[in-house]
Amino acid sequence: MVGLAATAACSSDSPSPSSSAGASPGTPRKGGLLRVGVIGSSGNIYDPHFTSSDTDQGRGQQIADSLALLAPDLPYRSELALAESFEMNANATVATIRLRSGVEFHHGKSLTADDLIFSLQRILDPTNPGRAASSLASIDINGIKKLDDLTVELTLKAPDSLLPTRWGSSQTSILPTDFDPAKPVGTGPWVMQSFQAGARSTYTAFPNYWREGQPYLDELEIIDFADNTPRMAALLAGQVDAIDGVDSTLIPQLPPSGFTTVITKSGFYQPITMRVDSAPFSDPNVRLAMKLLIDREQMVQQAYSGLGEIANDMPCPGDPGYPDLPQREQDIEQAKSLLRNAGYEDLTVTLNTSAQNGGMVNSAQVYAEQAKAAGVTVNINIQDAATWSANHKEDQFKQNYWAAGLVGGSWSQRWSEGGRSNESWWSDAEGDQIYNQLLSTTDEAQQAEYAGQLLTKLHESGPDIIHSFKSNVDLTTDKVKGVIPMESNGWNLGSWRYRLMWLEG
């Protein structure tokens, strides 16, 4: 049996003086109100199982907890939350979950195995599946067995050794059997007081929260903004205390004092993706040439104002199996000769992009500029977010944005045949086989080796130009402390761990 060790109530995501930039040393102070400004919309909902936008996910996470949570630092790994243990059998077909005892919901009910079963059935309900249905698809809804009051056994439809890593989001929250979407309660650090779609939601600290001593603040307000400009104005005018996921070009607008910039290095990336099912990108030499066009250092400086790291055409730098391959450098001569030999001298392509994630359009422009040196003309087509997502999968040459993770966690969606987000139309039978082997073993060294093989494939002939990892930027007033940098996924403002934040002075 292989299992995840239970972590103490005060887990390693607590702030400590040794944390990197942005984390604040000092002793948490009790009390106060934190106002966080987010980019929201009136479509927002608060039922944790049905949240889809980042904003909603952040909201859901305040009222409910899941079995595990992603650790903030690298390598990418999960930490147990409501689960005391999460064990898989050796071939990853049966999972045994033991829940933490003495955990209370906001309305006083204690957490039991029935709540876990109820939540799984609610997420996997075929007539109205929750948003996590695709990531928990390996669970057989008819094979959920209650072993005792706190223990549940899951039988899987197919091996899934990554199952313990699939519980980080609010979409996998454990909700009580008497959950009422009109009055949502969970085991989370905050009790929801009010919610107005597109405007704001307010919360008070849950006094019986299972993580001893948290949250530090008494009250929390999450305030929605239509756009970045008013949100920045609200921070500068003192109407909110913190804003997340800020475009790095806004940093120079900050006054010299009073504000703190939290920069988090992570594996967040904005790949330029080529469709491999048609010319010219069906030719691996053309794909390689397109990767050789980039001056990666210049890309980080110009597209991300220097707030990023160069990448090596592989995602998932936090994957324990990330291979140590030589860094790919700009080589215009080789790119030109590859293109010439493939019969695509003076190649002209259209790069489809959208401004919906900061830096996307900038990096497209830098790429187009750099490609000129090899005689490649890149025309940029900037689309509004909805048009972009509608056409995205069909477009031949395009950009997207992805959080970091494990390559095994995204392979089935992004690079396996028929994957929902397989925007490159990539198909690699050998890769899919390696992926299945990865899912079938719980041996960590084996998993890392398989992951390394998948990443190497992507480096050598993959459809994605992954030139850099973009750092995430959060802004707070100097009073806000305890914002942890989330290196493991790059999500904003400590992956919405408001329970760890406090106000100084």
Partner 1 sequence: MIRSILLRRLVSGVITLWLISVVIFAVLHVLPGDPRLIALGDEYTQEQWDAMTREMQLDQSLLAQYASWFKGLVTFDWGNSLMSPYPISELLGSAIYYTALLTLFVMILVIPISTVIGVYSAVHSGRLADSVASFLTLSLAAMPGFAIAVLTIYFLATNVFRIFPGSSIFNPNASVWSQLDLFALPVLASVLGLIPYPVRMVRAAMIEALESDAVMVARLKGLPERTVIFRHALRMCLGPIVQAFGLTLVFLSGGTIIVETVFSYPGVGYELIQGVGRRDFPVIQTLVVILAFFTIVLNLLTDLAVMIVTPRLRTRM
Q: Does 121 bind partner 1 (CB under 8 A)?
A: no
- Report whether 63 contacts 48 (CB < 8 A): yes
Residues 52 to 111: which contact partner 1 by CB under 8 A? 52
The H-or-E segment that residue 80 falls in is strand 78-80
Q: Counting Cβ atoms within 10 Å, is residue 232 exposed (0-12), middle (13-18) or buried (19+)? A: buried
For the chain, percent helix, then strand, then coil, each to nearest 5? Answer: 30, 25, 50
Residue 157 is which amino acid?
K
Site string for partner 1, 412-451 (x = CB under 8 A): -x------xx------------------------------
- Output the DSSP codes for 416-466: STT-TT-TT----HHHHHHHHHHHH---HHHHHHHHHHHHHHHHHH-SEE-
Segment contacting partner 1 (CB under 8 A): 109-117, 312-320, 384-392, 427-435?
384-392
CB of 125 to partner 1, least distance (A): 8
Name the phi and psi angles at 361, rounded to 5: -65, -40
Among 21, 90, 147, 226, binds partner 1 (CB under 8 A): 226
- Report whether 419 contacts 273 (CB < 8 A): no
Q: Does 202 bind partner 1 (CB under 8 A)?
A: yes
The H-or-E segment that residue 371 falls in is helix 360-371
Specify the length of the chain in residues: 505
Among 194, 341, 377, 433, binds partner 1 (CB under 8 A): 194
Question: What is the size of the binding site for partner 1 (CB under 8 A)?
Answer: 50
Q: Does 141 bind partner 1 (CB under 8 A)?
A: no
- Strands 480-481 and 78-80, sheet pairing: unpaired
Q: Does 381 bind partner 1 (CB under 8 A)?
A: no
Q: Does 239 bind partner 1 (CB under 8 A)?
A: yes
Segment contacting partner 1 (CB under 8 A): 152-160, 244-252, 269-277, 381-389?
381-389
Distance from C-alpha of 286 to C-alpha of 483, rounded to nearest angstrom: 43
- Assign 119 to helix, strand or coil: helix
Q: Does 238 bind partner 1 (CB under 8 A)?
A: yes
The DSSP secondary-structure symbol of 330 reads: -
Distance from C-alpha of 150 to C-alpha of 137, rounded to nearest angstrom: 23
CB of 388 to partner 1, least distance (A): 8
CB of 52 to partner 1, least distance (A): 5
CB of 29 to partner 1, least distance (A): 25
Q: Does 230 bind partner 1 (CB under 8 A)?
A: yes
Among 2, 236, 373, 448, binds partner 1 (CB under 8 A): 236
Roughly what angle, to the nearest 10 degrees, separates helices 407-414 and 429-440? 140
Segment contacting partner 1 (CB under 8 A): 18-26, 237-245, 272-280, 325-333?
237-245
Q: 12 or 239, CB closer to partner 1? A: 239
The residue ranges that bind partner 1 (CB under 8 A) are 41-45, 52, 126-129, 131, 133-135, 137, 181, 194, 196-200, 202, 223-227, 229-231, 233-234, 236-240, 253, 255, 384-387, 389-391, 413, 420-421
